[in-house]
Each structure stands twice: as structure tokens, then as C-alpha cells.
Chain A
Amino acid sequence: MNTDLLLQLTVNGLIVGLLYGVIAMCFVLIYKSTQVVNFAQGEFLLIGAWICWSTLVWLKLPFFVGFLLTLGFMTLFGILIQAIFLRPMIGEPIISVIMVTIGLSMFFQALMKWIFGTAPASYPQVFETQTVSVLGMNIEMAYILSLIFSFIMMGGFYWFFRYSKMGLAMRATAFDQQVASSLGISVPKVFAASWAISAMVSATAGIVIGMVNGVSDSLSFIGIKVFPAVILGGLDSVIGGVVGGVIIGVLENLAEFVDSQYLHVGNLYTIAPFYVLLIILTIKPYGLFGTKDIERI
């Protein structure tokens, strides 16, 4: 038993899992307030990471300026996507809505490949030090950064939904759209806001992952990996998304450990979450924290 490797992989899993959790949170945010299952979540990461990369490398802006520009762009992008493509789909059957987001995902993935190519690109050095030593383990600075980022985002979400006026409006809209709009909440505004926030936060996650692993179109696959996380946590639970993300992140790395030490089948890392997903769906379809659909005749 290789304890060092196990520990290292578990820590990796926790950090990656928290990032999954943040992305899952963005996914749940859109699902909860607008009832849209967003298959294009991964493309938000991809677009955000590439935009930020291009401001740094092509325009040679300092990191924080480029970062803020990206955030501004993604806010606009999220609002436009919602207004142009998703608003006409309100009231359509669920498969149509799913297909629109799949179409968007395909379109933007190809567009990004066309503009930026398929080769992975690395970010310019933002931080001085590469690794820091914590409790005798060498941890990459970028990992620390992503850890801090995840906690800030989660705290931000908590504060936003708990105390801010917009967050309250969103929760009200998620609870009942008709009641919310009769209380003077502008539902279209809430829809736009949730897409904007989701796009913005996902883009930030994309930038963080891009700093660690480089930017390439594999970023969009994370949008698909989020599904096991949200299903495990429950589709309409923000906390569930975080918990699911962490569990899937750790599980992925444990699968890697078991694979490399005992089974030697290879590639168990990417496929294990999907087996878990199928198992959860057959035994507990509404996840750990999700609300059960109760149907009345």
C-alpha cells in the first residue's frame, strides 16, 4: 500500500473536487432559477479561459486587467445567450431545451477550436513561486490558488443567496415564478442575472484550471463531468452540487489509485464517475439533497 501516493491523490481529489463543486454550483444556479439543463456549462469555462488568455498573450495586458475584462465579457455573454437562445424556449418540452444547449455547446466548441486551434496553450507566469510546502507535502501554488478561489466563490454564493436582494429574488423565482412576479420581482431580470453569474463564475474556474493545466478544448469536458456531481448531490441543491463535486473529485482520484496499484485497467479515472452516476440514478434518482418530484393526477 502506497500511503504517500494515496494521500497525494486524496488531496488532489479534494482540490479538484472543490473546483467541480464550484462549477456544479453554477450549473445548479441556472437549473434552479430557469429550469434549463445547461449542457454548455463546459463551454463557459472554455470561452472564459481563452478570452482571458488572449487578453494576456495577444493584447499583453496585466493579469488583473485581463481578468476583469473577461468577467465583463462573460457577464454580457451569459445575458445574451439567455436572451437570444433560451428565452424563446420557455414553455417548450424539455428535450428541446436540452438540445438547444447541446447545439450551443457544439457551436462554441467548434468556434473556439477554429479561433484558437486545438493545441493546448499555457498561461504566462502570474505568480512568482511554483510550489509551497504545506505539512511536509509539496503543493503547487496554482492548487492553493484554486483552493482559495473555490472557498471565496462558495462563500460569495452563500452570502449572495442569503443576504443580497437579487439572491432573495432568485430564490423566490426558483420557488414559484408566478408568485415571484406578482411580488414585483422581474423574472426576466432574474433569468438574465443567473446566466450572467453562472457564466462569470464558470469562466473564473476555467481560468484557474487553465493556469494549472493549460487551456485546451478538454476544458469543455469538465462541463460533462459536472453531471455526476450534480446528480449525486441533487439537481436543485446548491449545497448538493458542492458535496457532489467533492465526492466525485475524490472518487476520481481514488479510482486512479486503485487502477494504478491493483487493477491496471487504465483510464478508470475518467470513466468511474459515470458508473457512479448510473448507480445513483437507479437507486436514488433525486440525489442526496435534491427534492423529490411528487406527481399529482
Chain B
Amino acid sequence: MIALSMRPCGDFRTTYKADTQIFETSTIRGVTIASIIALCFAPLVLDAYYLTLFIQISYLAIAALGLNILVGFTGQISLGHGAFFGFGAFASAWFTNTFAVPVWISIPLAGCFTMAVGMLFGLPAARIKGLYLAIATLAAQFIIEDFFARAEWFSGGAYGAAAESVSLFGHTFDSDESFFYVALFSLVFMYIWGSNLMRSRDGRAFVAVRDHYLSAEIMGINLTWYRLLSFGVSSFYAGIGGALYGHYLGFVSAEGFTLMMSVQFLAMIIIGGLGSVQGALLGTIFIVLLPEVLEGLVGMIAGSGLVEQGSLMESLSYFKEMAIGLVIILFLIFEPDGLAHRWKQIKAYWKYYPFAY
């Protein structure tokens, strides 16, 4: 929770403007813009496997940023983010199926709808905090999950709901190559928005609530409102991410949005760095790639003939779960500020090389 205030040695700012810039230097800005432009050409070069990974990273990273705004920036805990993600997916499918809303409108609409639900479940947060809030959101997770299974009018019950592909100006984004652009645009848009939100009055209020809520309240910040708003913004991001997920897969079923998913989102922001916008992205990349790397490793061990091949590949899903659990623990013990902080330190080291200490 101290990621913002912990700057590596020698890395200081002299003006407020420099402190609040999205990109610290013009080089970083240039590199970021160049890499986004380079990514636009990725579908021409990369095969479907990498595109799928990228799309997966984008919709998860959007939701992870939402959770980071709630947990990392406002200091509230949520164990129900996976359920909100699912709610966005179902809501968007519901809008398009029932009211024939075009998909590109239904995605933000689903975001707003999820925001309303998030604020409803955030209501207890006005009074409670810390671990009580964690348990309240845990209850929200189970209640929403139960709602998915029960509300056939909304989610199609046990059968799930079909979700149309995104289409705009007569063009349908139904292949990996074309959906890649939808994912990329949403990712960039939501991250710029998130970064800017954190530079606004509301963003500073979030940080103040996290750092010392009593002082924040004395300085005129309405605690109840900002806690609720933070829940709302976080659910909005989850809803957008979920809606993208639904329209990408073309089908939403209730099984996926379990407590396990909520924990994975938490793992992403802890590994990436609490209270850091780029941390949410780094953490998502880490968590998405971890099972892939693991699969490769297990495949290698199985291929070497040391152990029975079948049994090892069968247990792969357990290995993935174990690895995620272990990674959460290891990061919390050895690098509690996450990858973003480590990245900053590496940068600072080279910036002042050889004078850094």
C-alpha cells in the first residue's frame, strides 16, 4: 500500500506538474506510443495463440486495474471482483439479446449496470473496513454467483447465455485478428482513463482515504461517498472487462466466475504492485503467462521420460492453482510492492549509474 510514496533513491521531482505526469519522461512517452503503434501490426505477424493470449491479458487487465483502484488506491478490500466481472459479461449479453442493443453500446452499458450493483454491495463499506469488508465482499461473491445460477431470465441459468460478436459500421469483429483491435483499443482507453482518474481530485481523494482516512475526513473528504465511488469505479472496470470477455468468447456460462477468479484478480494486483496503474497490467501479464510457462515446463519434464507422462499432464490444473497460491505468498513475503516497484528500482539504478546506491 505504500507503492506511491516509495521512490527509489535519487528519483525525485521538483515540480508538482512533473510529479503528476502520466509519463515520467518524454522517452517513456515515445516508447509507449511507439509500442502501441507496433502492436497494431501484431495480427499481421503473430499467430492465433499469441493473439488469444493478448486478448486474454487485455480484458483481465482492465478488470485488474479496477480492482487496483479499489484495493491499491483506496485501501478497501474486495473478494468479489470475479463475480462483478461475470456480472458484466452476463449484463452485456442480456442487453444485446433482450433489448437488441448494439454491442458497442451494450459494453459500456454493462459497465454502468455493474457499477450500480457494485455500489449496492459497497454500501456496507460505508460503515465497515478492513477485514469486515473482506468478509462482506466474500458474501457478495457467493450471493452473485448464486444469482447467476438462479436467474434464468438474466443469465440463462445452467445453460449460459450467448453473446454476439462486436460489430461496428457493418464490420464484425469475430476473429482473433479483428477482436485484437477491439481489445487493444479498450485496454489503452481504460488505462489512460484510469491514469487520468488518479491525477484528478477524486483520485487524490481515494489515496487520501487509503493513507489516513481520519485525516482525509477532517480535510473535507466525504468518506462514505468516496468509498462507494471507489467500489463503483472498480465494478465499472470489472463490468467492461467481463463484457469484452463475453463478446470475445461468444458465450457466457456461470461456472467460471468463482471465488478462485476473485483471488486471481487479487493475485494480479499484488504481484504487479498495489497502487500502481502499470502494476495492474504487469501483474495480469504475469498471471496469464504463468500457467503457459508452467504447461511448457511440465510438458518438458513429462517429455523427458522421468515420470509417467499421463499422470503429470492430468495434474496440470492442480499445479497451476498451486503455483498461483505459492506466487501470491512469495511475492507478499519477498516483494510486497510488486513488479512495478521492482521495475522502478531497476530504472532508477540505470538512470543514475554508477552513482546509485
Contact = CB atoms under 8 A, between A and B. Distances in A.
Contacts of A96: 270, 332, 336
Contacts of A106: 260, 263, 321-322, 324-325, 328
Interface string B251-266: 0000000011001001
Given A96-B332, A103-B332, A285-B128, A114 B146 contact: no
Choose among B128, B327, B332 the residue with the greatest number of A CB atoms under 10 Å from its CB. Answer: B332
B268 to A, nearest CB: 12
A107 interface: yes
A23 interface: no
A5 B143 CA distance: 27
A275 interface: yes
Given A94-B130, A110-B318, A227 B138 contact: yes
A110 B321 CA distance: 6
A275 B150 CA distance: 15
B313 to A, nearest CB: 13
Given A92-B336, A271-B142, A231 B135 contact: yes
Given A102-B266, A271-B143, A274-B142, A265 B332 contact: no
B214 interface: yes
A267 interface: yes
A113 B322 CA distance: 10
B131 interface: yes
B342 interface: no
Choose among A88, A109, A270, A277 the residue with the greatest number of B CB atoms under 10 Å from its CB. Answer: A277
Interface residues of A, number: 43
A64 interface: no
Contact of A282 (B123, B321, B325, B332): B123
A37 B149 CA distance: 29
A282 B329 contact: no
B318 A111 contact: yes
25 contacts: A37-B134, A88-B333, A92-B332, A93-B1, A94-B77, A94-B130, A94-B131, A96-B336, A98-B131, A100-B332, A103-B327, A106-B322, A107-B325, A113-B318, A231-B135, A235-B131, A265-B150, A267-B149, A278-B136, A278-B140, A281-B139, A282-B127, A285-B128, A295-B214, A297-B214
By Cβ-Cβ distance, the 3 closest A-B pairs, closest first, are A107-B325, A106-B325, A103-B328
Interface of B: 1, 71, 77, 123-124, 127-128, 130-132, 134-136, 138-140, 142-143, 146, 149-150, 214, 259-260, 263, 266-267, 270, 274, 315, 318-322, 324-329, 332-333, 336
Interface of A: 37, 85, 88-89, 92-96, 98-100, 102-111, 113-114, 224, 227-228, 231, 235, 265-267, 270-271, 274-275, 277-278, 281-282, 285, 295, 297
